[in-house]
Amino acid sequence: MDKKNTTIGVLLLLVGFATLYMAPRPEPLAPPAAQPSYTPAVETADGQPVAPGQQPAISAPPAPSATFAPLVGVNADATISVLANDHVEVRFTDFGGAIRDVAFKHYAATYGSEEPFVFNRLHAAPILAFNDFPGLDHRTRFTLVSATENEVVYRAVFEDRIEVTRRYVVRSSDDTTGDPYRIRHETTFRNLTEQTTPLPRTALNLGTASLIDGNDTGQYLNIATYDGEDARFIDRGDLTSGFLSSVGIGNRADLPFLERTERTVWASVKNQFFATIFTPEQPGVGVLVRRIELPPLPGSIYPTVGMTASSRFDLPALAPSASTVLVGELYVGPKEYTRLDTFAQREDLIMQFSYGMGKIFLSGIVAPTLNKLMKWTYGFVQNWGIAIILMTILLKVISLPFTLAASKSAKRMQKLQPLMQAVREKHKDNPQKMNQAIMEIFKEHKVNPAGGCIPILITIPLFIGFFTMLMGTAELRFQSFLWTKDLSAPDTVWRVFGLPINIMPLLMGVTMYYQMKLTPSPTTDNMQAKIFKFMPFFFTAICYNFSAALALYSTINGLFTIGQQIVVNKYTKEAPIPTPLGVPSGTGKGGKKIKNVTPSKKK
């Protein structure tokens, strides 16, 4: 009967698993219509063009009315200036005097492609363009003042009253004073009149982030801010009505925008592997966040919704002929923890190591350590797959004393089960006395009932920390190992009826199954035993679409544990366990004789 129930349970699990991956998906959104090329003419606050030489009056930023931020089309009239080093190619546009996009030379757009990944390729606005500032936003054409190998400067005059100069510096390849992915930016506002002129609240666009590929779930596609103490994240779901509203529970509608007003040391727009981070010298006063509708990814059936944001700043009123400067460092690059960890304002927090469950399991401490250890190991072997294997073995060796102690405790608990069953039968009508007698058994035989939990307490933080570290580590993207083309994604080798066949998680499940069979069971409870039987299948289903790197770690961890348990079961000698006080020797359920639990000595 047990075998029959187990078989049925496994079949139901497989059916549910297949349903999960083969269920019909919603139809993808149609690609947004091509945007017409806009002209460099400046518009007034009511949208009417102005005559040459005139400027519109400063007005309050218009409230966004659409659910999504509009996608800006290509301006064929724009003059593009390019600054580059060994890591990036930064393309500037004179419309808005800002950064149109940034190409990462060491990160490919797709697997096997020679084309670099381009951040902000599709966008709501150029990076660091003014938002909600009619007359100075991305529709305003700035004059290119100068362009050198590492610097570009733009200028515009607002209302014949305020001169706005925008300067960008990209570090050269041989510059060791800063990070090659960081761009120095200065915007200077100068009063051209003889009267004191107030300046409106200014917002600088942080760029647009979208999903990386079809494997990207959007977990790390969000807006991050840091107030000097804590990092906070705004996800796409924070602007949507959610499932409950769709079924009539609650009346919240999708939000066209979300504004957070707070001290902002830095703000970031990011996805799974890449990010922009703007860190001004003087903190900002908040962020304005919007979603943006983008064309579906190639081969994807899911709608593609990206995110964009602006960082807000309060500027002082300008005295006659006075000026003020907004200065900051803009990082546009990969989410490499060891690189971000060198920055002074905790920009490394965009990695989200302590986000969600990671905070409970101390991933903010574990994940950075594992990341540094993995990169240090890679420096020796020059292969990320081998680095993960060596690191896994090292972690197992470190935790070996705890694991051995737990294995011995589990074996002793297993031997005590018949005696504990006798106690339960004897005191079944007196739970308090039964628990007291069981505790006496533990005390008499020096067995810690929580001893078997030690490996779990160690493994769970490592597992969660490793998961959070691997999911957002850009270095693993498109790194191959054995049959796996990309360690940061599932190792799908083919599909059967639409169901992905991922080899590494299946190997992980097999190792977990044999590991469970070899490990002594600390209980004789039939229900608990069945639960333990299903655990390998359960974890295989949960981890099936995780990255190949995580499955590789779990598989090597399981193989090491299997070998360790074989040695423990074969060579560990236990002292005889005497009959506990107050329990008749050899007495079992219903007064029946039970086998002696004390191992016989070899003659």
Cα separation of 125 and 108, whole Å? 23
Locate tokens 């060198």: which residue?
A: 342
Indicate the pLDDT class of residue 25, thresholds 50, 70 and 90.
very low
Contact criterion met (CB below 8 Å) for 349 and 358: no
DSSP, residue by residue, 564-592: HHHHHHHH------PPPTTS-TTB-GGG-
Query: Which residue, chain included where needed, has tokens 């990092």?
Result: 231
Reported confidence tier of residue 407, pLDDT bands at 50, 70, 90: low
Specify which of 63-72, 292-301, 407-416, 583-592 reaches the highest per-range mean pLDDT: 292-301
Residue 252 pLDDT: 62
Q: Give the mean pLDDT of 13-36.
A: 38
Instruction: Report the percentage of the chain scoring pLDDT > 90.
Output: 39
Counting every residue written for the chain, the total comes to 603
Question: What is the b/e burial string over 204-219, where b = at least 16 CB atoms within 10 angstroms of the residue's CB?
Answer: bbbbbbbbbbebbebe
pLDDT confidence of residue 38: 30
Give yes or no for residue 224 having a pLDDT over 90: yes
Let me know: does 207 contact 213? Beta carbons within 8 Å: no
Minimal CA–CA distance to 74: which of 32, 35, 126?
A: 35
pLDDT in tens, 319-359: 999 999 999 999 999 999 999 999 999 999 999 998 766 67
Please report the beta strands in 94-242, taking only residues with DSSP state E, as ranges in sequence order. 98-108, 116-119, 130-131, 143-147, 151-158, 162-170, 182-191, 202-209, 222-226, 231-235
Residue 559, pLDDT > 70, answer: yes
Residue 474 near residue 335 (C-beta atoms within 8 A)? yes
Strand (E) or helix (H) holding 263: strand 258-264
Is the pLDDT reported for residue 602 higher than 60?
no
Residues with Cβ within 8 Å of 218's Cβ and at least 6 positions away in sequence, in order, are 211, 235, 236
Cα 19 from Cα 13, distance rounded (Å): 10
Question: What does the pLDDT read at residue 304?
Answer: 87
* Contact indicator for 316, 324 with CB cutoff of 8 Å: yes
- What is the per-residue pLDDT for 519? 66
The DSSP result for 441-463, as a single string, is: HHHHTT--TTGGGHHHHHHHHHH
**Which of 517 and 465 is assigned the larger pLDDT?**
465
Q: Assign residue 202 a region: left if phi > 0, alpha if psi is -120 to 50, beta otherwise?
A: beta
- Provide mean pLDDT across the span 242-258: 63
pLDDT at 460: 78
The residue with tokens 């199954």 is: 513
Which of 28-37, 201-210, 395-404, 589-598 has the highest mean predicted lDDT (pLDDT)?
Answer: 201-210
**Where residue 451 falls among pLDDT bands split at 50, 70, 90?**
low
Token pair, residue 283, equals 């903190």
Cα separation values, 191 from 158, 315, 322, Å: 10, 13, 6
Q: Does 584 have pLDDT greater than 60?
A: no
pLDDT digits (tens, 9 = 90+) for 171-211: 998 888 889 999 999 999 999 999 999 988 899 999 999 99
Sheet holding 304-313, edge to edge: 130-131, 202-209, 304-313, 284-294, 258-264
pLDDT band at 122 (very low <50, low <70, confident <90, very high): very high
Backbone angles phi, psi at 79, to 5 degrees: -100, 120
Residues 501-547: tens digit of each pLDDT = 888 888 888 888 887 777 655 554 566 666 667 777 877 887 788 88
Residue-wise pLDDT for 255-312, tens only, equals 888 999 999 999 999 999 999 999 999 999 999 999 999 888 877 666 689 999 999 9
Percentage above 70 pLDDT, the chain: 72
Structural domains in the chain? 31-63+79-352 (2.70.98.90), 382-571 (no CATH)
Span 415-423, mean pLDDT?
70
Give the helix/strand (H/E) hosting 88.
strand 88-93
**Regarding predicted confidence, which is higher, 176 or 318?**
318
What's the pLDDT band for 18 if we cut at 50, 70, 90? Answer: very low
Confidence check: pLDDT of 141 > 70: yes
Long-range contacts of 595-602 (CB under 8 A, 24+ apart): 595/418, 597/415, 597/416, 597/418, 597/419, 599/574
Section 540-556 average pLDDT: 85
Reply yes or no on whether the pLDDT at 365 is more than 50: yes
Residue 28 has what pLDDT? 36
**Among 24-38, 116-130, 167-181, 215-229, whose mean pLDDT is lowest?**
24-38
298 φ, ψ to 5°?
A: -60, 125
Cα 121–chain centre separation: 22
Pairing of strands 98-108, 88-93: antiparallel
| pLDDT tens digits for range 472-502 | 889 999 999 999 888 988 888 888 777 888 8
**What pLDDT does residue 400 have?**
76
Q: Is the pLDDT of residue 65 over 60?
A: no
Task: Inform me whether the pLDDT recorded for 143 exceeds 80.
Answer: yes
Q: Which residue has the higher pLDDT, 372 or 599?
A: 372
Query: CA-CA distance, 546 to 215, in Å (whole number)?
Result: 9
Q: Per-residue confidence at 17, pLDDT binned at 50, 70, 90? A: very low
Averaged pLDDT, 572-598? 47
Over 50: is that where the pLDDT of 57 sits? no
| Exposed / middle / buried, residue 402 (Cβ in 10 Å: 0-12, 13-18, 19+) | middle
What DSSP character marks residue 525?
-
Predicted confidence at residue 10, as pLDDT, reads 46
